[in-house]
Amino acid sequence: MVSSGLFKDTIMNNATLHKFGYPDTVIEDGPRWAVLLRPAQVTLGSLVLVCKEPVRAFSGLSQEAFADLREMTGRIERSLQRAFAFDKINYLMLMMVDPDVHFHVIPRYAKERRFAETVFLDPNWPGPPDLGKANDIDNATREALRQYLISIWESIAIPPGISNI
């Protein structure tokens, strides 16, 4: 797990990071984006990708944040594909309740998946995910899932031509 203090002061004021459990849910803590395990697992491996810059509009991101977004989404997709072989992936940028720039990352599955003896369903497949419904998991399973995703994340190579954030 990479950690950066580029926006250290901003992190303290980023309500979205804290709502989704930062720092306890961190998978990657980059200089401009944090990847968090979504506490409510809509589907297996649901994440939140939160911008650490002090902006509340997507158009307000710096050029560096946009460039890093490409790398982060690529690593998210490669990690989740290796971990759980998702069928599709949804990025939801709603920002209706949580004002800081962020995406809900919901891997989608045509069939159930299992992790740590727990069955995970995607009950709305192939329709839009319902963020109000989640697979019921305990804290031990949630932490095992986070640690597993960290191990996968750290093993994913950064493709040539993409900067290491």
Using the predicted structure, report yes or no on whether residue 4 has a pLDDT greater than 60. no
CATH classification code of 8-155: 3.30.428.10
Q: Which residue has the higher pLDDT, 161 or 114?
A: 114
**Spatial distance between the Cα atoms of 27 and 152, rounded to a whole number of angstroms:** 10
pLDDT level of residue 165 (50, 70, 90 thresholds) = very low
Across 42-148, the runs of DSSP E, i.e. the strands, are 47-51, 88-92, 102-108, 113-115, 118-120
**Spatial distance between the Cα atoms of 45 and 120, rounded to a whole number of angstroms:** 10
pLDDT in tens, 88-121: 999 999 988 888 999 999 999 999 999 999 999 9
Residue pair 53/32 in contact by the 8 Å Cβ criterion: yes
Peptide bond into 54 cis (omega under 30): no
The whole model's pTM is what? Answer: 0.89
**Spatial distance between the Cα atoms of 37 and 115, rounded to a whole number of angstroms:** 15
Domain boundaries, the chain: 8-155
